[in-house]
Amino acid sequence: MTEIEVDIRALGAQADGIAEIDGSTLYVPYVLPGERARVALEEGDRASLLKIVTPSHERVSPPCRHFTRCGGCSLQHMAQDAYGTWKREQVEAALRARGLDIEVSPLVPAAPRSRRRATFAVTRTKKGVTIGYYMRGSHDIVPLTECPLVIPEIANFVPKLGELVLPGLSRRTRASALVTWTLNGLDVALSGGKPLDGPLRAELGQRAQAADIARLSWDGEVVAERRVPEIDLSGLRVALPVGGFLQPTGGGEGALVRLVREGVGHARRVVDLFAGCGTFSAALVENAAVHAVEGEKKALAALDRAVRRQGPELGLKPLTTEARDLARRPLLADELNKFDAIVIDPPRAGALAQAEEIAKSDVPLVVSVSCNPATFARDARALVDGGYRLESVTPVDQFLWSAHVELVGIFRRS
């Protein structure tokens, strides 16, 4: 193993430190700009951190004992102000790369212990069950004794999770358990377990009752549903489908909804593209007629049922839904022109084909939500080239201490 000392000049897009050695770039985790570090060279352009020789004044003590072993966080060692500035700069850099020069607003921060859903790696061992997160760049599981990311309801449940899923696990495989807090209790969705049969189904059902969870699903199939897992979307109670999308933090969702509402303003006819279960539709239908478009039929059905059941009592405006794969069949410009505003929240891959159709439309206002600054900037370029002006960009943190950042951009017809 070759050991050398390097100077860290910046952080890359994945929060690894960037150093130069013999004219080549070297990436080092868990360092900060301006630090000198002793590292061990690995294959390719990677190195592992051995020791901080000269620490940055922006270095702080990480709040979690698992930091640097667990692969879930990469920036716990960075002071809060520097962390917020770095995330904002990642958005600015993505926009500049597409020739979009705009001042990005300060980062809307995330709070510790605010994640209301988390995916845990689980496997059976001779002594029982190991539960945790994967080690960085490895399939080894770091057993979890604490996690400053998740809400207390999930943190307190982790020791019970192993007992719940134990009979359905194999020592030969790794499974994953998505645990979500809902209004009616925890929703546990396991994937990668043993195939279900009668005895296993019965055993899991009994354990779900003992654990007092709302629902247990197994590779997409509901094994036990003691209470319907519901989520609160701007006052609308929506039943969460198995594996359905949900913003990871309540605070982050609130920030996104606020920014979308402000962006839409007084528009009276709004189309919500990639609507999911209705995070934005539920907020906008209070004042506007909303057409929600989404490829997942179960998510749309849950939203539709909630609006039909609660809409009259809440005084909601009309909401219509359309199941449509927007990646393969985007709404065309003529279909979009009947609306006053467009809200779009695509997956990480973005929605270039849909952006190109929006660029051909006459809709005066577009509010774009994204979890990937690079694909947001690519799609924004298409809108700007089509005559829109990028008016504002606000980054929102929902994945604390990671390199991920979400954002909301407002576009208006020039």
Residues that are catalytic:
371
| Dihedral angle, C-alpha 57, 62, 63, 69, nearest 10 ° | 170
For residues 229-248, one letter each, b for 16 or more C-beta atoms within 10 angstroms of the residue's C-beta and e for the rest, the string is bbbebbebbbbbbbbbbbbb
Phi, psi of 91, rounded to the nearest 5 degrees: -70, -45
CB-CB contact of 247 with 283 (8 Å): no
Please name which of 1, 30, 45, 33 lies closest in space to residue 136, comparing C-alpha atoms.
30
DSSP one-letter code for 107: P
Strand partners, 300: none
Measured distance CA(270)–CA(291) in Å, rounded:
6
How many C-alpha atoms does 117 have within 13 Å on its Cβ side?
Answer: 23
Angstrom CA distances, 160 to 128, 131, 154, 163, 227, stand at: 12, 10, 10, 5, 19
Please name which of 256, 268, 259 lies closest in space to residue 363, comparing C-alpha atoms.
268
Question: What residue spans of 98-197 are helical by DSSP H?
Answer: 152-165
Token digits for 85? 């500035």
DSSP string across 300-363: HHHHHHHHHHHHHHHTPPPEEEEE--TTTSPPPHHHHTT-SEEEE---TT--HHHHHHHHHS--
